[in-house]
Amino acid sequence: MNDLLDKKLLFVTGKGGVGKTSVATSLAFLAASRGQRVLLCEVDGKGDVAGLLESPPTAFKEREVSPGLFAMTMDTEEAMKEYLRLNLRVPFAGRIGPVAKAFDFLASAAPGVREILVVGKLCYEVREAHYDLVVVDATASGHIVGLLAAPQAVNSLVKVGLIRNQTDWMLEMLTDPAQTGLVAVCTPEEMPVTETIELAGRVRNETTVNLASVVVNRVLPELFGTQEEEVFETLTRPDVAAELELLVGSDTAPVLEAARLAVTLRRTRSVHLDRLREAIDPSVPLLYLPYLFTRSHGLRTTRQTATSLGEELGY
Ligand SMILES: Nc1ncnc2c1ncn2[C@@H]1O[C@H](COP(=O)(O)OP(=O)(O)O)[C@@H](O)[C@H]1O
Ligand SMILES: [Mg+2]
Protein backbone atom coordinates (compact mmCIF):
# COMPACT_ATOMS: atom_id res chain seq x y z
CA MET A 1 0.00 0.00 0.00
CA ASN A 2 2.66 2.53 0.94
CA ASP A 3 4.60 1.75 -2.21
CA LEU A 4 2.38 4.19 -4.11
CA LEU A 5 5.04 6.90 -4.16
CA ASP A 6 7.75 4.37 -5.04
CA LYS A 7 6.25 4.01 -8.50
CA LYS A 8 7.60 6.13 -11.34
CA LEU A 9 4.42 7.21 -13.09
CA LEU A 10 1.01 7.88 -11.54
CA PHE A 11 -2.06 8.81 -13.56
CA VAL A 12 -4.78 10.49 -11.51
CA THR A 13 -8.31 10.34 -12.93
CA GLY A 14 -11.96 10.48 -11.88
CA LYS A 15 -15.30 12.06 -12.73
CA GLY A 16 -15.15 15.80 -13.37
CA GLY A 17 -15.07 17.87 -10.19
CA VAL A 18 -14.35 15.06 -7.71
CA GLY A 19 -10.90 16.42 -6.88
CA LYS A 20 -8.46 15.00 -9.45
CA THR A 21 -6.34 18.13 -9.57
CA SER A 22 -6.37 18.54 -5.79
CA VAL A 23 -5.33 14.91 -5.26
CA ALA A 24 -2.68 14.91 -8.01
CA THR A 25 -1.17 18.13 -6.68
CA SER A 26 -1.19 16.91 -3.08
CA LEU A 27 0.35 13.55 -4.06
CA ALA A 28 3.14 15.36 -5.90
CA PHE A 29 3.59 17.78 -3.01
CA LEU A 30 3.77 14.91 -0.52
CA ALA A 31 6.39 13.05 -2.60
CA ALA A 32 8.49 16.21 -2.96
CA SER A 33 8.28 16.90 0.76
CA ARG A 34 9.68 13.40 1.32
CA GLY A 35 12.72 14.35 -0.73
CA GLN A 36 11.70 12.97 -4.13
CA ARG A 37 12.24 14.92 -7.32
CA VAL A 38 8.75 15.16 -8.79
CA LEU A 39 7.18 16.28 -12.05
CA LEU A 40 3.49 17.21 -11.90
CA CYS A 41 1.82 17.41 -15.30
CA GLU A 42 -1.59 18.95 -15.85
CA VAL A 43 -3.10 17.34 -18.93
CA ASP A 44 -6.30 19.30 -19.48
CA GLY A 45 -4.51 22.57 -18.85
CA LYS A 46 -7.10 24.55 -16.90
CA GLY A 47 -4.35 26.05 -14.77
CA ASP A 48 -5.75 24.74 -11.49
CA VAL A 49 -2.37 23.35 -10.41
CA ALA A 50 -0.84 26.83 -10.31
CA GLY A 51 -3.70 27.97 -8.06
CA LEU A 52 -3.26 25.06 -5.68
CA LEU A 53 0.49 25.69 -5.42
CA GLU A 54 0.11 29.48 -5.55
CA SER A 55 2.68 29.60 -8.32
CA PRO A 56 2.79 31.53 -11.60
CA PRO A 57 0.91 29.84 -14.49
CA THR A 58 2.49 26.58 -15.67
CA ALA A 59 3.66 25.94 -19.25
CA PHE A 60 4.91 23.01 -21.34
CA LYS A 61 8.44 23.74 -20.18
CA GLU A 62 8.44 22.56 -16.59
CA ARG A 63 9.32 24.91 -13.75
CA GLU A 64 10.26 24.22 -10.12
CA VAL A 65 7.29 25.59 -8.19
CA SER A 66 8.30 24.44 -4.71
CA PRO A 67 11.39 22.57 -3.51
CA GLY A 68 11.74 19.39 -5.56
CA LEU A 69 8.37 19.88 -7.26
CA PHE A 70 8.32 20.74 -10.96
CA ALA A 71 5.07 21.56 -12.73
CA MET A 72 4.14 21.58 -16.41
CA THR A 73 1.08 21.76 -18.65
CA MET A 74 0.66 19.23 -21.46
CA ASP A 75 0.57 20.64 -24.98
CA THR A 76 0.40 18.06 -27.76
CA GLU A 77 1.91 20.34 -30.37
CA GLU A 78 4.90 21.14 -28.14
CA ALA A 79 5.19 17.44 -27.29
CA MET A 80 5.32 16.61 -31.00
CA LYS A 81 7.99 19.23 -31.68
CA GLU A 82 10.06 17.87 -28.81
CA TYR A 83 9.58 14.34 -30.11
CA LEU A 84 10.70 15.31 -33.60
CA ARG A 85 13.71 17.18 -32.26
CA LEU A 86 14.75 14.20 -30.17
CA ASN A 87 14.04 11.45 -32.68
CA LEU A 88 14.42 12.85 -36.14
CA ARG A 89 17.06 15.41 -35.27
CA VAL A 90 15.04 18.18 -36.89
CA PRO A 91 17.25 21.08 -35.83
CA PHE A 92 15.06 24.18 -35.99
CA ALA A 93 11.57 24.64 -34.71
CA GLY A 94 10.85 26.64 -37.87
CA ARG A 95 11.22 23.61 -40.09
CA ILE A 96 8.60 21.75 -38.12
CA GLY A 97 5.74 23.88 -39.50
CA PRO A 98 4.78 21.65 -42.46
CA VAL A 99 5.25 18.52 -40.35
CA ALA A 100 2.93 20.00 -37.74
CA LYS A 101 0.26 20.50 -40.39
CA ALA A 102 0.64 16.92 -41.55
CA PHE A 103 0.49 15.80 -37.96
CA ASP A 104 -2.72 17.71 -37.30
CA PHE A 105 -4.26 15.90 -40.23
CA LEU A 106 -3.01 12.55 -39.01
CA ALA A 107 -4.11 13.20 -35.43
CA SER A 108 -7.67 13.85 -36.48
CA ALA A 109 -7.70 10.84 -38.82
CA ALA A 110 -6.08 8.10 -36.73
CA PRO A 111 -7.17 7.15 -33.23
CA GLY A 112 -4.57 7.32 -30.50
CA VAL A 113 -2.13 9.69 -32.24
CA ARG A 114 -2.76 12.68 -29.99
CA GLU A 115 -2.88 10.41 -26.94
CA ILE A 116 0.37 8.68 -27.82
CA LEU A 117 2.17 12.03 -27.77
CA VAL A 118 0.84 12.79 -24.29
CA VAL A 119 1.70 9.35 -22.91
CA GLY A 120 4.97 9.37 -24.86
CA LYS A 121 6.16 12.62 -23.31
CA LEU A 122 5.37 11.36 -19.81
CA CYS A 123 6.99 7.95 -20.36
CA TYR A 124 10.02 9.70 -21.84
CA GLU A 125 10.51 11.74 -18.66
CA VAL A 126 10.37 8.49 -16.67
CA ARG A 127 12.74 6.62 -18.98
CA GLU A 128 15.32 9.38 -18.96
CA ALA A 129 15.12 9.37 -15.12
CA HIS A 130 14.79 13.13 -14.99
CA TYR A 131 12.50 12.61 -12.00
CA ASP A 132 11.91 10.06 -9.25
CA LEU A 133 8.18 10.33 -9.82
CA VAL A 134 5.89 11.75 -12.50
CA VAL A 135 2.34 12.55 -11.34
CA VAL A 136 -0.24 13.19 -14.04
CA ASP A 137 -3.38 15.20 -13.42
CA ALA A 138 -4.97 13.26 -16.26
CA THR A 139 -8.19 13.45 -18.24
CA ALA A 140 -11.54 12.58 -16.67
CA SER A 141 -12.56 8.93 -16.39
CA GLY A 142 -14.47 9.07 -19.70
CA HIS A 143 -11.24 9.60 -21.66
CA ILE A 144 -8.55 7.98 -19.54
CA VAL A 145 -8.95 4.51 -21.06
CA GLY A 146 -8.27 5.93 -24.54
CA LEU A 147 -5.18 7.64 -23.19
CA LEU A 148 -3.78 4.60 -21.39
CA ALA A 149 -4.62 2.23 -24.24
CA ALA A 150 -3.07 4.48 -26.92
CA PRO A 151 0.20 2.50 -27.20
CA GLN A 152 -1.75 -0.72 -27.89
CA ALA A 153 -4.01 1.09 -30.35
CA VAL A 154 -0.99 2.40 -32.24
CA ASN A 155 0.76 -0.96 -31.97
CA SER A 156 -2.13 -2.65 -33.68
CA LEU A 157 -1.76 -0.25 -36.62
CA VAL A 158 2.01 -0.20 -36.92
CA LYS A 159 3.93 -3.46 -37.01
CA VAL A 160 7.54 -2.39 -37.54
CA GLY A 161 9.85 0.61 -37.52
CA LEU A 162 10.57 3.64 -35.39
CA ILE A 163 7.05 4.14 -34.09
CA ARG A 164 6.73 0.45 -33.19
CA ASN A 165 9.98 0.62 -31.21
CA GLN A 166 8.57 3.60 -29.35
CA THR A 167 5.29 2.03 -28.41
CA ASP A 168 6.98 -1.21 -27.36
CA TRP A 169 9.06 0.36 -24.59
CA MET A 170 6.14 2.56 -23.55
CA LEU A 171 3.88 -0.47 -23.24
CA GLU A 172 6.49 -2.23 -21.16
CA MET A 173 6.60 0.72 -18.75
CA LEU A 174 2.83 1.11 -18.57
CA THR A 175 2.31 -2.60 -17.97
CA ASP A 176 4.75 -2.87 -15.07
CA PRO A 177 2.79 -2.31 -11.82
CA ALA A 178 6.02 -1.47 -9.99
CA GLN A 179 6.52 1.50 -12.31
CA THR A 180 3.06 2.68 -13.37
CA GLY A 181 -0.20 3.04 -11.50
CA LEU A 182 -3.62 4.58 -11.93
CA VAL A 183 -5.18 6.50 -9.05
CA ALA A 184 -8.96 6.83 -9.34
CA VAL A 185 -10.49 9.68 -7.36
CA CYS A 186 -14.15 9.69 -6.35
CA THR A 187 -16.48 11.12 -3.76
CA PRO A 188 -18.80 9.06 -1.54
CA GLU A 189 -21.82 9.76 -3.76
CA GLU A 190 -23.88 7.56 -6.04
CA MET A 191 -22.71 8.67 -9.50
CA PRO A 192 -18.97 9.06 -8.78
CA VAL A 193 -18.95 5.62 -7.10
CA THR A 194 -20.79 3.99 -10.01
CA GLU A 195 -18.40 5.63 -12.45
CA THR A 196 -15.36 4.48 -10.47
CA ILE A 197 -16.59 0.88 -10.43
CA GLU A 198 -17.14 0.99 -14.21
CA LEU A 199 -13.76 2.58 -14.70
CA ALA A 200 -12.01 -0.14 -12.70
CA GLY A 201 -13.59 -2.74 -15.01
CA ARG A 202 -12.62 -0.94 -18.19
CA VAL A 203 -9.05 -0.35 -16.99
CA ARG A 204 -8.75 -4.05 -16.23
CA ASN A 205 -10.23 -5.17 -19.56
CA GLU A 206 -9.01 -2.54 -22.00
CA THR A 207 -5.64 -1.33 -20.72
CA THR A 208 -2.47 -2.86 -19.34
CA VAL A 209 -2.24 -0.31 -16.51
CA ASN A 210 -2.69 -1.36 -12.91
CA LEU A 211 -5.25 0.35 -10.65
CA ALA A 212 -2.95 1.33 -7.78
CA SER A 213 -5.50 2.91 -5.45
CA VAL A 214 -8.85 4.63 -5.14
CA VAL A 215 -8.92 7.95 -3.32
CA VAL A 216 -12.25 8.80 -1.72
CA ASN A 217 -12.32 12.57 -1.43
CA ARG A 218 -14.66 14.81 0.60
CA VAL A 219 -15.43 12.27 3.30
CA LEU A 220 -17.58 13.90 5.98
CA PRO A 221 -16.26 13.74 9.52
CA GLU A 222 -18.14 11.61 12.01
CA LEU A 223 -20.00 14.05 14.24
CA PHE A 224 -20.64 11.54 16.98
CA GLY A 225 -20.57 7.85 17.70
CA THR A 226 -23.38 5.61 18.95
CA GLN A 227 -23.09 6.79 22.53
CA GLU A 228 -23.28 10.47 21.64
CA GLU A 229 -26.17 9.65 19.37
CA GLU A 230 -28.23 8.62 22.39
CA VAL A 231 -27.46 11.98 23.99
CA PHE A 232 -28.47 13.69 20.76
CA GLU A 233 -31.76 11.78 20.57
CA THR A 234 -32.51 12.87 24.13
CA LEU A 235 -31.78 16.50 23.22
CA THR A 236 -34.34 16.37 20.42
CA ARG A 237 -37.12 15.01 22.68
CA PRO A 238 -39.78 17.77 22.83
CA ASP A 239 -39.66 18.17 26.63
CA VAL A 240 -35.85 18.27 26.73
CA ALA A 241 -35.68 20.55 23.68
CA ALA A 242 -38.06 22.99 25.36
CA GLU A 243 -35.94 23.05 28.49
CA LEU A 244 -32.78 23.45 26.43
CA GLU A 245 -34.29 26.45 24.66
CA LEU A 246 -35.11 28.04 27.96
CA LEU A 247 -31.52 27.53 29.12
CA VAL A 248 -29.93 28.83 25.91
CA GLY A 249 -32.44 31.61 25.53
CA SER A 250 -33.00 31.11 21.79
CA ASP A 251 -34.31 28.62 19.24
CA THR A 252 -32.15 25.45 19.29
CA ALA A 253 -34.12 23.60 16.58
CA PRO A 254 -31.92 24.76 13.64
CA VAL A 255 -28.77 23.54 15.39
CA LEU A 256 -30.29 20.15 16.16
CA GLU A 257 -31.60 19.93 12.59
CA ALA A 258 -28.15 20.71 11.18
CA ALA A 259 -26.63 17.96 13.30
CA ARG A 260 -29.29 15.52 12.16
CA LEU A 261 -28.67 16.46 8.51
CA ALA A 262 -24.93 15.90 8.90
CA VAL A 263 -25.53 12.47 10.39
CA THR A 264 -27.98 11.51 7.61
CA LEU A 265 -25.57 12.70 4.92
CA ARG A 266 -22.75 10.70 6.38
CA ARG A 267 -24.97 7.60 6.60
CA THR A 268 -26.13 7.74 2.98
CA ARG A 269 -22.55 8.32 1.90
CA SER A 270 -21.36 5.30 3.83
CA VAL A 271 -23.81 3.15 1.82
CA HIS A 272 -22.01 4.23 -1.38
CA LEU A 273 -18.64 3.61 0.25
CA ASP A 274 -19.67 0.06 1.14
CA ARG A 275 -20.75 -0.51 -2.45
CA LEU A 276 -17.37 0.79 -3.65
CA ARG A 277 -15.39 -1.41 -1.27
CA GLU A 278 -17.33 -4.49 -2.32
CA ALA A 279 -16.88 -3.86 -6.05
CA ILE A 280 -13.20 -2.93 -6.11
CA ASP A 281 -10.57 -5.67 -5.98
CA PRO A 282 -9.67 -6.11 -2.29
CA SER A 283 -5.98 -5.74 -3.12
CA VAL A 284 -6.58 -2.12 -4.23
CA PRO A 285 -6.35 0.19 -1.21
CA LEU A 286 -8.98 2.86 -0.61
CA LEU A 287 -7.54 6.11 0.76
CA TYR A 288 -9.90 8.56 2.48
CA LEU A 289 -9.57 12.33 2.44
CA PRO A 290 -11.69 14.61 4.61
CA TYR A 291 -14.10 17.25 3.39
CA LEU A 292 -12.30 20.58 3.78
CA PHE A 293 -14.59 23.25 5.14
CA THR A 294 -12.80 26.21 3.66
CA ARG A 295 -13.68 28.81 1.10
CA SER A 296 -10.39 29.17 -0.74
CA HIS A 297 -8.15 26.37 -1.93
CA GLY A 298 -4.41 27.04 -2.23
CA LEU A 299 -1.08 26.05 -0.77
CA ARG A 300 -2.57 25.64 2.71
CA THR A 301 -5.21 23.11 1.59
CA THR A 302 -2.68 21.36 -0.66
CA ARG A 303 -0.42 20.90 2.36
CA GLN A 304 -3.36 19.75 4.47
CA THR A 305 -4.43 17.16 1.89
CA ALA A 306 -0.83 16.02 1.41
CA THR A 307 -0.63 15.39 5.17
CA SER A 308 -3.89 13.40 5.10
CA LEU A 309 -2.62 11.35 2.16
CA GLY A 310 0.64 10.71 4.00
CA GLU A 311 -1.29 9.42 7.01
CA GLU A 312 -3.45 7.19 4.81
CA LEU A 313 -0.30 5.77 3.18
CA GLY A 314 1.24 5.11 6.59
CA TYR A 315 4.13 7.58 6.28
N1 LIG B 1 -11.60 17.51 0.15
C2 LIG B 1 -12.25 18.57 -0.34
N3 LIG B 1 -13.06 19.29 0.43
C4 LIG B 1 -13.72 20.36 -0.05
N5 LIG B 1 -13.59 20.82 -1.30
C6 LIG B 1 -12.77 20.16 -2.14
C7 LIG B 1 -12.06 19.00 -1.71
N8 LIG B 1 -11.31 18.55 -2.77
C9 LIG B 1 -11.56 19.39 -3.79
N10 LIG B 1 -12.42 20.36 -3.43
C11 LIG B 1 -12.93 21.44 -4.30
O12 LIG B 1 -13.73 20.88 -5.31
C13 LIG B 1 -13.53 21.53 -6.55
C14 LIG B 1 -13.06 20.54 -7.60
O15 LIG B 1 -11.77 20.05 -7.25
P16 LIG B 1 -10.66 19.74 -8.36
O17 LIG B 1 -9.46 19.18 -7.67
O18 LIG B 1 -10.43 20.92 -9.22
O19 LIG B 1 -11.43 18.61 -9.16
P20 LIG B 1 -11.22 18.04 -10.65
O21 LIG B 1 -9.79 18.25 -11.01
O22 LIG B 1 -11.58 16.60 -10.53
O23 LIG B 1 -12.17 18.78 -11.52
C24 LIG B 1 -12.51 22.63 -6.30
O25 LIG B 1 -13.18 23.83 -6.07
C26 LIG B 1 -11.82 22.17 -5.03
O27 LIG B 1 -11.30 23.25 -4.31
MG1 LIG C 1 -8.96 19.30 -12.65
pTM: 0.91
Q: How confident is the model at residue 5 (pLDDT cuts 50, 70, 90)?
A: very high
Q: How far is the CA of 129 from the centre of ligand 1 (A)?
A: 31
Ligand 1: centre distance to CA 17 (Å): 6
Digit-coded pLDDT (tens) for 241-296: 999 999 999 999 898 888 888 888 888 999 999 999 999 999 999 999 999 999 89
Judged by its nearest atom, the ligand closest to the C-alpha of residue 22 is 1
CA 146 to centroid of ligand 1, rounded, Å: 24
Percent of the chain with pLDDT over 70: 92
Ligand 2 centroid – CA 22 distance (Å): 7
Residues less than 5 Å from ion ligand 2, measured at CB: 20-21
Name the most confidently modeled range: 13-27, 70-84, 236-250: 13-27
Read off the pLDDT of each residue in 16-42 and give the average, rounded to a whole number.
97
User: Could you give the CA distance from residue 213 to residue 218 in angstroms, rounded to a whole number?
Assistant: 16
Q: Which residues line ligand 1 (CB under 6 A)?
A: 14, 16-22, 48, 217-218, 289, 291-292, 297
Residues 137-167 pLDDT 10s: 999 998 999 999 999 888 887 777 777 778 8
For position 92, what pLDDT does the model report? 55
| Sequence-ordered list of residues with C-beta below 8 angstroms from that of 17, at least 6 positions apart, any chain | none
Q: Are 120 and 166 in contact (CB under 8 A)?
A: yes
Residue 108 pLDDT more than 80?
A: no
Ligand nearest to the CA of 16: 1
Q: Where are the domains of the chain?
A: 4-221+273-312
pLDDT at 230: 84
134 DSSP β-pair partners? 9, 39
Please report, for residues 16, 143, 174, 209, 307, the alpha-carbon distance to residue 198 in angstroms, rounded to integers and kept in the order given.
15, 13, 20, 15, 29
- 52-77 residues labelled b (16+ CB within 10 A) or e (exposed): bbebeebebebeebbebbbbbbbbbe
Q: Is CATH 3.40.50.300 the right assignment for the domain spanning 4-221+273-312?
A: yes
Residue nearest to atom 4 of ligand 1 (CA): 292
